Chain A
Amino acid sequence: MQLTGKSMKLFVPSPGHINSLKELLTEKDKIYSIFMAGSPDYIGTGRSNLASPQLEDIAAQTEYAHKRGVKMEMVLNSSCMGGRQLTPEGFRINHWYIEQLANMGVDSIVVADPYLVETIARDFDDVMVVVSVLAFVDSPQKAEMFVDLGADSIVIDSNVNRHFDVLHAIRDSVDCELKLLVNEGCLYRCPFRYAHFNFFSHAFGPEPRPNVLDDYYYFKCLELRIDDPQQIIKSPWIRPEDLKLYRDITDVYKIGGRTHFVDWILNCVNAYYGESYDGNLMDLLDCPKELKDLFYIPNKSLDGVLAKQWMNCKKVCIKCGYCKAFTKKVTQVYSGGGTELAALTSLDTFTEKS
C-alpha cells in the first residue's frame, strides 16, 4: 500500500482571521503550515485578500497555530511596489514590518521581489525566506540566482508544473526547499499574468489604491475558457492523484485559495492529503471559482493522463490536439441550476470553436 500524506508538507491558505484559522486547524494533523496575507498598509500581495490582519492579530494567530504544532507563513508577495521599496522611507517601513513579524515568531515570509529576498535573508536569521510563485522561477538559472540571494525555499512558477525536464533541472541545481502550487487554475502561459498580479499588488497594497470598476483580466480569463474550455484542461494544476509523480522533485505542496470559504479549503486539504478526489476537478481549482458552476470535469477521468500524455508533451497544441479532444470527451456543462430542470449536458451540445 502506498504511503499517503506521511512525509508531505502541505501549506494551506487562511482567509486571514482567527475564526478561519480555528476551523482550519480542526484538521491540524494534515497541515504543515498555514499561510495568509498581512496588512496591505505595508507590503501588499499579488492576489486578492479578504482580511487585513494587524500585527496583534497576526501575533495571536501565530501563537494559536504554534500551540497546535502548525507553522505560520506570511505572504508579502507584491509583484509591484512602484519602486517604493527602494526609497529610504519605503525600506524603513518594510524593514520595520518584517522585523515585527520575525519577532512574533512567524516561521516564513513569502516575497516576490529579489531585493526583499536578499534583505530578509541578510537581516533576519530566524525567518525562512520563500520566493513566491510570482517571482516566476521557471529555470535552474533563475533558481540558482535566488538561492544566491539567500532564498531558503522557492515556489516554482506553476507554468512549468508539467515540464518535468525543467522541474528536474531545478531540483538538480539547487539544494533549497522547492514547493509546488498544486491547484492554481490560471491559464497556461497566461498573457495577463504579469499585468493582473501587478494590478492586484496595487489594489491590495498600500495607498493609493486604484479605484477599478471591472477587473478586465478576470473577465477576459473567464471569457477565454468559456469560449474554449480546453484552456481549463491545459492549465498547469496538479491532481491529488498525481502528486506521486512529483515525489522525486519535492514533497512540499502549496494549496492556493485564501479567498475561499474554510469548507472549500478543507475539501482541498483532504483531497491532497489523501491524494485522491472523487468529484468535479473544478471543486479543487483556486481560480476562476465561478466556473465550477458551469463545467463538470470528473477528476477521476484524468487518471493516468499526466503519465501517459503530459509528462512528455511538447506543448505544440496545434500539432497535437490531445487536450482539445480530451476536453470534448469528458467535460459537461451545468444548466438549469436551482430548478427542477437542473442537468448536465455534453459540451458537444455547443458549437465547436473553429
Chain B
Amino acid sequence: MITSELLKNRAGFEEKLRKLIGRPILLIELDIFALPCGCTGITTNMRGLEVDDLEVFEPQMLALVKEMAVNLDVKPSVIFARIVPGSSIVASLNWRVLCSRCYPDFARGEGKTPRPDLYMLQFERRK
C-alpha cells in the first residue's frame, strides 16, 4: 500500500514541478527515511533542478513541498534543498522532522544558506 502511495506522490510532485518550472526535471528517487539519531523525513533526489528555480519559484514550490508532506503524513520541522557545493545544482529536496540532537545544528545557522550546501526553504524554531 505504502509503495503505491510513494509512486503516486513521486509522479505527482515531479509533474507539478515540471509544470511550474517549464523543464522536464527528473525526480530520480523519493525516499522516506529514519536516521539513528531520531530524525525522520522525506528526501527527493532531483536531476535538472537549479538554485535559480528555488529563488524564483520558492513560494509556489514550498506549497507543493508541503502538500506532499501532508500526503505522506510527515510534519517537517525543516525543509531544505541540498546543493552540490560551489555550483547551481540542486541535488535533493529534504523534509526533515528534526530530533533534539540535530535541532541545534539547524537552529544556530541563519539566512537562506546556513551551510554552503544547504538552501533553507522553511525552518520551524522551537519556543
Contact = CB atoms under 8 A, between A and B. Distances in A.
A223 B47 contact: yes
Contacts of A333: 24
A227 B48 contact: yes
B89 A216 contact: yes
A220 B11 contact: no
B42 interface: no
Nearest to A332: B24
Best-buried of A220, A222, A223, A294 by chain B (most CB within 10 Å): A223
B22 interface: yes
Contact of A226 (B15, B23, B86, B91): B23
Interface in A318-342: 333, 335-339, 341-342
Contact residues on B (Cβ < 8 Å of other chain), bracket: 20 to 34
Given A227-B23, A335-B15, A350-B18, A220 B89 contact: yes
A336 B15 contact: yes
Contacts of A350: 18, 22-24
A249 interface: no
Contacts of B100: none
A123 interface: no
A2 interface: no
A226 B17 CA distance: 14
Interface string A207-226: 00000011010011011001
A341 B11 contact: yes
B72 interface: no
Given A219-B47, A335-B14, A335-B18, A226 B24 contact: yes
Contact of B26 (A216, A226, A336, A339): A226
A102 interface: no
B104 interface: no
A162 B117 CA distance: 40
Interface string B77-119: 0000000111101010000000000000000000000000100
Contacts of B8: 339
A351 interface: yes
Contacts of B117: 213
B120 to A, nearest CB: 19
A291 B26 CA distance: 8
A25 interface: no
A219 B84 contact: yes
Contact of A216 (B24, B50, B84): B84
Interface string B33-72: 0000000000000011010000000000000000000000
B23 A214 contact: no
Nearest to B86: A216
Nearest to B9: A339
Interface in A176-223: 213-214, 216, 219-220, 222-223
Contacts of B74: none
9 contacts: A214-B84, A223-B48, A226-B25, A226-B26, A293-B26, A294-B24, A295-B24, A338-B7, A338-B11
Given A222-B48, A226-B47, A336-B11, 11 more contacts: A216-B89, A220-B87, A223-B50, A223-B89, A226-B26, A290-B28, A291-B26, A293-B28, A335-B18, A339-B7, A350-B24
Nearest 7 pairs of A and B residues by beta carbon = A226-B48, A351-B22, A338-B7, A336-B11, A214-B84, A333-B24, A219-B89
